């Protein structure tokens, strides 16, 4: 079963930020479980989904049978800074120029906050331009080898608006998590069967985060895919995810 979190996909109102926080989403997931009458379920999440999967599992460990996590993102400041402020630009300076373009030089000291100002602007043109640049930056860096189809998808107006607004909304507020909360609370779920899949050359969610989770949770099965980036559709990552879900089926 897949579901669209508040504000994206088929959720309404589209691209809305109200009542849209990590705590809200954890409540939504739990309400959905109760509504469907499911006693315990496998929780699967990648990238931001791994953040949310960990937050949900740590809040409701008794409702989780297994975890499959991919492209680990713990939403620590150093992770956000790496991809949106300084770090990943060293690997993708060409794509970085397009990401910087909507932001005046005097506002580039805090790019996430500068983007948030534009993504929440009352001017639709400003919102759209910022959303496209933010979204294409991630689309351009998500695969080990360039994926023009993904870049095209991330540049679409509707997709990019929800993607960028909601991501930036969470990042500028630190996802309403207390510092290193997800790592600090791993003890609540260390007894659960889990597989962690990480691309060695993931630029969006670099391996330092998956390694930190692995060190805090050595019982989880940690799989590093040596020839992969961030996308769940990288062949090696997809192979490991299928193996993991088949194991817990």
Q: What are phi and psi of 229, to 5 degrees?
A: -100, -130
Which band of pLDDT confidence, cut at 50, 70 and 90, is reported for residue 185?
very high
140 lies in some domain: yes
Q: What is the CA radius of gyration of the chain?
A: 18
CATH number for 72: 3.40.50.1820
Q: What is the model's pLDDT at position 115?
A: 98
Same domain, 127 and 180: no
1 lies in some domain: no
Mean pLDDT, residues 64-69: 98
Q: What is the model's pLDDT at position 132?
A: 98
Q: What is the model's pLDDT at position 162?
A: 96
Same domain, 167 and 200: no
DSSP secondary-structure letter at 10?
T
Is residue 162 a contact partner of residue 107, using CB atoms and an 8 Å limit? no
pTM (predicted TM-score): 0.95
Residues acting as catalytic residues: 47, 202, 230
Last residue of a domain, one of 148, 175, 202: 175
Q: What are phi and psi of 15, to 5 degrees?
A: 60, 20
DSSP secondary-structure letter at 71?
E
pLDDT tens digits, 81-124: 999 999 999 999 999 999 999 999 999 999 999 999 999 999 99
Q: What is the model's pLDDT at position 49?
A: 97
Same domain, 206 and 90: no
Q: What is the model's pLDDT at position 2?
A: 81
pLDDT tens digits, 4-51: 889 988 888 889 999 999 999 999 999 999 999 999 999 999 999 999
Peptide bond into 163 cis (omega under 30): no
17 lies in some domain: no
Same domain, 70 and 108: no
9 lies in some domain: no
Which band of pLDDT confidence, cut at 50, 70 and 90, is reported for residue 1?
low
Mean pLDDT, residues 174-179: 89
Q: How many CB atoms lie within 10 A of CB 34?
A: 10
Last residue of a domain, one of 131, 152, 175: 175
Q: What is the model's pLDDT at position 188?
A: 98
Which band of pLDDT confidence, cut at 50, 70 and 90, is reported for residue 180?
confident
3 lies in some domain: no
> Domain limits at 84?
79-175
Last residue of a domain, one of 113, 145, 175: 175
216 lies in some domain: yes
Domain count, the chain: 2
Please give the mean pLDDT across all residues of the chain.
96
pLDDT at 179 over 80: no
The tokens for 14 are: 């589209």
Is residue 194 a contact partner of residue 221, using CB atoms and an 8 Å limit? yes
User: Using alpha carbons only, what angle is made at residue 175 by residues 144 and 16, rounded to the nearest 5 degrees?
Assistant: 90
pLDDT at 235 over 80: yes
Is residue 133 a contact partner of residue 84, using CB atoms and an 8 Å limit? no
Same domain, 83 and 170: yes
């Amino acid at each position: 079963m897949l579901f669209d979190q508040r504000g994206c996909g088929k959720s309404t109102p589209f691209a809305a930020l109200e009542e849209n926080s990590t705590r809200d989403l954890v409540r939504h997931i739990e309400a959905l479980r109760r509504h469907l009458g499911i006693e315990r379920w496998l929780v699967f999440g990648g990238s931001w989904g791994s953040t949310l999967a960990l937050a949900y599992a740590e809040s409701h460990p008794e409702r989780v049978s297994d975890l499959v996590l991919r492209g680990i993102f713990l939403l620590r400041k150093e992770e956000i800074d790496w991809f949106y402020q300084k770090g990943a630009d060293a690997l993708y300076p060409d794509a970085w120029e397009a990401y910087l373009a909507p932001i005046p030089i005097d506002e580039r000291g805090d790019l996430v906050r500068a983007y948030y100002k534009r993504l929440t602007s009352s001017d639709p043109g400003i919102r759209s331009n910022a959303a496209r640049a933010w979204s294409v930056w991630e689309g351009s860096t998500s695969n080990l080898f360039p994926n023009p189809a993904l870049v095209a998808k991330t540049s679409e107006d509707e997709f990019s608006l929800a993607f960028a607004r909601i991501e930036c909304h969470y990042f500028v507020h630190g996802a309403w998590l207390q510092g290193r909360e997800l790592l600090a609370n791993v003890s609540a779920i260390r007894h659960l069967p889990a597989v962690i899949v990480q691309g060695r050359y993931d630029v969006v969610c670099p391996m330092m985060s998956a390694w930190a989770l692995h060190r805090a949770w050595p019982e989880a099965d940690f799989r590093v895919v040596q020839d992969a980036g961030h996308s769940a559709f990288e062949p090696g990552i997809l192979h490991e995810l299928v193996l993991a879900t088949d194991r817990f089926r």
